[in-house]
Every structure is written in structure tokens, then in C-alpha cells.
Structure 1
Amino acid sequence: MGSMKRRFCTTESLEIDEPLAGTGNHPVRNLLISWPRSKWTRSARRASDMSDAVSGLLDRLAKQGLRVNLIDRREDREKSHRIFLMPENQSYRVLPEQLPAFLEQLLAGAQEPGEPLNHPLLLCCTHGQKDRCCAKFGFQAYKALAESAQQEALPFSVWESSHLGGCRLAASAVVMPSMRKYGRISPEHALPLLQSELKGRPYLPCLRGEAELSSLQQVARIAAMEALAATAPDAELEILSEETLAGERECATAWLVLRWRVGETEGFLRVKCREEELIRFDTCADVDAEEAKPARVWRAVDVADCEAPA
């Protein structure tokens, strides 16, 4: 008898037409520490050869509100750790024996200024110890992103990253400091995504959302950007109003009005969004255990020009 075909939470998510838009939430405060991927454990901030002292300090920093991720790229493996702080946009090189003291200073808010970053960071989740989708889809995307940046001499620093959230949306990535989050990145998306980010534009085919916005606001902004893509791709967008009403079976409907502006030209869009319930697998572990769970998502159902609000 042949073996059963392995299922992946990413393909399960696609099969139920789960939207990418609205899943871009991510902490704005980030601490990134280079560590060989072979040493990562299931935790996003733990390595198998990490000392108890360092692990404890990272836990304390996480309790202060810092998102801690391990990152790696083979060409940058040195005796020292590369450390990045966001949104401070600071870079450090710290020897392993100096790492506990550095983290203590960080806890106390007394760390010295580092080197300012003059190019964006792109983190692509390859955390196979956490979820097999991040190994299968994430590493392919990482290689394509890193190779595209190198071959085209694009000013990006591309790193493998531990868990970024949303394993079912692999391959996942986040660009810093813009804090735009992406999902379902295939190798063919790599170059256009980098080129779009280089122009300061989000890459719409894979955009999950902007971290500082609510899920509903992310959905509305992405719908507005898609509506303007052909005529005003560089438009600045501002959410002016938001109204939400409960509906059948407690699924809500929302209307958001956004102003778009390009130079002296402006206009207004009204985006209608509807909440719906999906039964989904969040991770491959859920798929294996057949433990699908209900989840509420927003979906844009209409975008229309409108008058300026009173």
C-alpha cells in the first residue's frame, strides 16, 4: 500500500479561498539576532546552543513588548552576532561573550547607538522546526529573494527568519522599516516584489497588510490600492471614517471612506467590507490532527468613488 500524500496548511488555506489581505499584523518593535538556522528550535527566539542567561534575557525583553526573532544568512556568518533594532533602525555586531551584557543594557534602555541602516531589511520565514510549510515554501522564496537582490544589485538585506506568524500563508515575509507583511510568495514574485518595495510601493499580489493597521483597515487599504493601481499607483491613502454594523449570525459589515492624493489631485473611495467565518487549519500540526478551527476574516466586496465626507 502506498503512503498517504502529506497535506500542507498552505494548500488547505488556498483551497478555502482564505484572503491574504488583513493578516499583516506584526509588532512594530523588533529585536533581530543572527543565529545559524541549524540551531533554531521550535520557539522563534530559542536556539539549541543558546545559554540559559541569554534565553532568560530574551524572555524578559519579550515581556517588555519586543518581538524577538532569530535570523540567518550563510554569507554573513561570523564570530559575532548581527543584531538589528527596529524601529530604531540600528545595527550592531556583538561577540557571543558580550551578548548577555548587550541584552542587559537593552533591558535597561541604556544601549549605545549602533550603525544606522541605509537599506531595507527583508525577512523571509524559513522556520521548518515550527511548520513544514515554512521549510517547503519559505526556503524556496528566500533563495529567490536573495538571488534577485544580488543579481540585480538591489539595496536590500535579505535574511532567513524564524516564525513570523501565519504559517498557513507561507512563504511569509516582512519588510522593515516599512513594516509591510507579505504571504504566498513564490519564486516568480521575488524580483517584482523587491522592485516594487524599492519604489516605496507595496507589492499587491502578495500583500497581507501594513502592521500598524487593524485587519479591517488593512483589507480596505489594499482594496483601495488595487482600485487605483492602473491610474494612481503612487497615491497616498488616508482612512477618514469607519462604520461597522453587526449582521446575520453576528457577521458584520463595514464601510470605510478613504482619501487618495497624488500631488494636488485627490479623490475619495468608499470600501465595503464583509466579515465571514472560515473553518481553517492554522498550522500543519492542525492538519495532521484534523483540528480545523473557526476564524473570522474580513473581505472587501465593493469599492466605489464617493463624495468628500461632510
Structure 2
Amino acid sequence: MTERPGLRPPGPDRFFCSDAARERGDPLAGTAPHGLAWVLVEHRGGWPANGFDGLALEPATKARVFAAAQAVRARILLIRRHAGRRDEGPRRWAVLRYEGSGAHRQQWGTWSRDEDLAAIAAALGAPGETGLPPVVLVCAHGRHDTCCAVRGRPVARALTERLPDLVWECTHVGGDRFAANVLVAPDGVYYGNLDAPAAVSAVEEHLAGRIHAAHLRGYTDLFPAQQAAVAAVLARFGPAARHAYTVTATSRVGDHWQIRVTGHRPPATTYDVEVRTHRAPPRRLTCHGPATSSALIHEATSIRAV
């Protein structure tokens, strides 16, 4: 594999956070970051460790894009096609927005000069277009975390071979230890612990309206305990489309949650899912740096049909 600058080849004494997480059996469910909007900026060169923040762009334009994204809590991701599948011509940008109705919105543009990116600020306030296919984003941000590149790039290659127009590599999406990570947006669905065959299967099933629990980290419109509840229902009753279930009630007493999940496919069924939240022991959760932290775990303990 040809290495991009900033990615060091694996060595026998290196610590890899994704290997450690797999050995521990860190649970995936309930680990997707909350978010309803994403800004994508195509950058074909090497990515700084801090992504968009580290780009040497015209300062006023950069500040305007950042402020507009921050105002709606949109995540800014740098994107590029996988190596060997390079687009010619102007670079692209996009604003992707999740809507609970399923009528997700997208707006795309191009940029040649830094100043062209100012159009992103206007797009964040515009309606956007519905009916476009989702974007498949594979985290391959090696300068942020080695595992994201080592595990992400083979996944990006496999998905690009199947879905060349939908797939982009992207900067950090969160959860390095679950690499390879895939975000399908603006659907707002995170998948993790993927290898190439699993990624192809998960994404093709997703596009066919069948989301499986096996590699699901969560839906980004839900909070962690709610994500875990929906994943538990999918694990118990089988795959379903993105909007087949809705969280209709949430209550909490201490570390215990009761999440009501309502299904919309016939026969419509409502489930009460109990979720327990607790902290794991402090561990190294990223490849870079020796610091440890304690992750929250959200465990579904029971499912009861109402």
C-alpha cells in the first residue's frame, strides 16, 4: 500500500487503538456523535491533523465558513476520492442536512479559489435539494489517528470499486478505536469495526433499506442511550430501513434509562427498552498519546413489547 505523508507503517511494538478495542470487545452501540448537518470540503492534498482548521485558507473566508457551520452545529469534514480514483476539474463542497421526515437535503458546489468557499455559509441557510443519493464517508485520516488510515483505506478502496460516485475518504469522524468507520450522510448513520467485505455488505444493505445491528454505532439524531435502544431492537427483530423506528419517549433514573421505540412497518409495534449506562475502566482510546480516559457504555438489558 502506498503511504500518504504522515502515515507510518505498522511495527511490532506499535500500539493500535482499534486492535486493543477489538481485544477488549468494546461495544459499538451508542457511540455515534450527535449531529444533523455536515459540511464537506474537497481537499486533494495531505490533510492536517486537525482537518479543516489546519488548512492554510484565506483567513476571512475560513472564519466565515467556520462561524456559519458552528451556528448550526455542523461538522466540517475534508474529503477526497480514494487514491486511483481522482476527479479532475474544480474541487467540490457540500452541505448535507438530516431531516426526521427522511427528506434529507443536500447542496453541492465547486471551488477553485479560497473565496469560493464563502458560498458554504449561504448554503447552510438555504433549503437544499431532496432526493439525492446519500454520501458514503470513510474516515482515512492517518495524521489524526493511525488506525483510521490503516483500516480505513482498504475499506475506502473496496467501497469505491462498488460505488465510485458515492464514496469519499474523509477526515476524523470520531471513535478512532472503532476503525474502520463509515458515516452515511445525510442519513446520519455510523458504522464501525469494518473491514472491506463487511463494509461493502453494510453499505449495500443500507442502500437497500436494511440497516443491520452488527456494525451499527448509532443514528446521529439520537443520544447514546437511544442509539443503543434502537440497535438492540434491530439486533432482536432484524434489519430495517433508516426510519422504520422512532424513539417516542425517554426517561432516566440514575444510570438506568427506559426508551420507548415505535416501529412503523406492519405490524406496527412499540417496545420499551431498558438501557444501563456505566463507565469502563480508564484505557488508551486513541493511537496517538499515552493518555487514558473512561468511555461510557450503554447496554440494553431488556426489550419488552408494549
Would the TM-score normalized by the shorter structure come out above 0.5? yes
Match of 2:113 in 1: 96
Residues in 2 aligned to 1:244 and 1:60: alpha-carbon distance in whole angstroms:
34
Opposite residue 83 of structure 1, the aligned amino acid is: W
Match of 2:158 in 1: 144
Is the counterpart of residue 280 in structure 1 residue 283 in structure 2? yes
Residues in 1 aligned to 2:258 and 2:43: alpha-carbon distance in whole angstroms:
45
> What SS does structure 1 have at the residue aligned with 2:294?
strand
Contact persistence 1:9–1:282 (CA under 8 A):
yes
> What SS does structure 2 have at the residue aligned with 1:238?
strand
Q: Provide closer, same or farther for how the CA distance between residues 82 and 116 of structure 1 changes in structure 2, counting only shifts above 3 A.
A: farther
Aligned-residue RMSD, C-alpha: 2.5
Structure 1: where are the runs of 5+ without partners?
151-155, 247-251
- Alpha-carbon distance, 1:217 to partner: 0.4
Residues in 2 aligned to 1:26 and 1:146: alpha-carbon distance in whole angstroms:
26
Contact persistence 2:178–2:192 (CA under 8 A):
yes
> What SS does structure 2 have at the residue aligned with 1:280?
coil
Which of residues 241, 249, 256 is equivalent to 2:249? 241
Query: Structure 2 length normalisation: TM-score?
Result: 0.83
Residues in 2 aligned to 1:106 and 1:149: alpha-carbon distance in whole angstroms:
26
Residues in 2 aligned to 1:72 and 1:218: alpha-carbon distance in whole angstroms:
29
Match of 2:261 in 1: 258
Opposite residue 52 of structure 2, the aligned amino acid is: R
- Alpha-carbon distance, 1:115 to partner: 7.2
Which of residues 32, 44, 54 is equivalent to 2:40? 32
Opposite residue 112 of structure 2, the aligned amino acid is: L
Q: Which moved more, 1:23-32 or 1:122-131?
A: 23-32
Contact persistence 2:61–2:114 (CA under 8 A):
no
Opposite residue 31 of structure 2, the aligned amino acid is: T
Residues in 1 aligned to 2:269 and 2:176: alpha-carbon distance in whole angstroms:
37
Select the structure of larger CA radius of gyration: 1
Match of 1:153 in 2: none
Which structure 1 residue ranges, 4+ long, deviate > 6 Å from structure 2? 113-117
Contact persistence 2:64–2:118 (CA under 8 A):
no
Q: State the aligned residue count.
A: 284
Larger proportion of helix: 1
Residues in 2 aligned to 1:181 and 1:43: alpha-carbon distance in whole angstroms:
21
Residues in 1 aligned to 2:246 and 2:120: alpha-carbon distance in whole angstroms:
38
Contact persistence 2:37–2:186 (CA under 8 A):
no
Opposite residue 259 of structure 1, the aligned amino acid is: T
Which of residues 90, 94, 99 is equivalent to 1:84? 94
Is the counterpart of residue 196 in structure 1 residue 205 in structure 2? yes
**Counterparts of residues 1-310 of structure 1 (less than 5 Å):** 5-36=13-44, 38-46=45-53, 48-64=55-71, 65-73=73-81, 74=83, 75-87=85-97, 88-96=105-113, 98-103=115-120, 105-106=122-123, 109=125, 118-150=132-164, 157-229=166-238, 233=240, 236-246=244-254, 252-263=255-266, 265-278=267-280, 279-286=282-289, 289=290, 291-304=291-304, 306-307=305-306
Q: Which moved more, 1:18-27 or 1:206-215?
A: 18-27
1:257-305 superposed Cα distances (whole Å, 9 cap, x missing partner): 3232423x2233232211121123231124xx2x21122221112223x
Contact persistence 2:57–2:114 (CA under 8 A):
no
1:32-89 superposed Cα distances (whole Å, 9 cap, x missing partner): 11111x3310112145553434433333234323311110015343341211111131
Structure 2: where are the runs of 5+ without partners?
1-10, 98-104
Contact persistence 1:243–1:256 (CA under 8 A):
yes
State percent identity of aligned pairs: 25
Contact persistence 2:28–2:178 (CA under 8 A):
yes
Opposite residue 33 of structure 2, the aligned amino acid is: N
Query: Structure 1 length normalisation: TM-score?
Result: 0.82
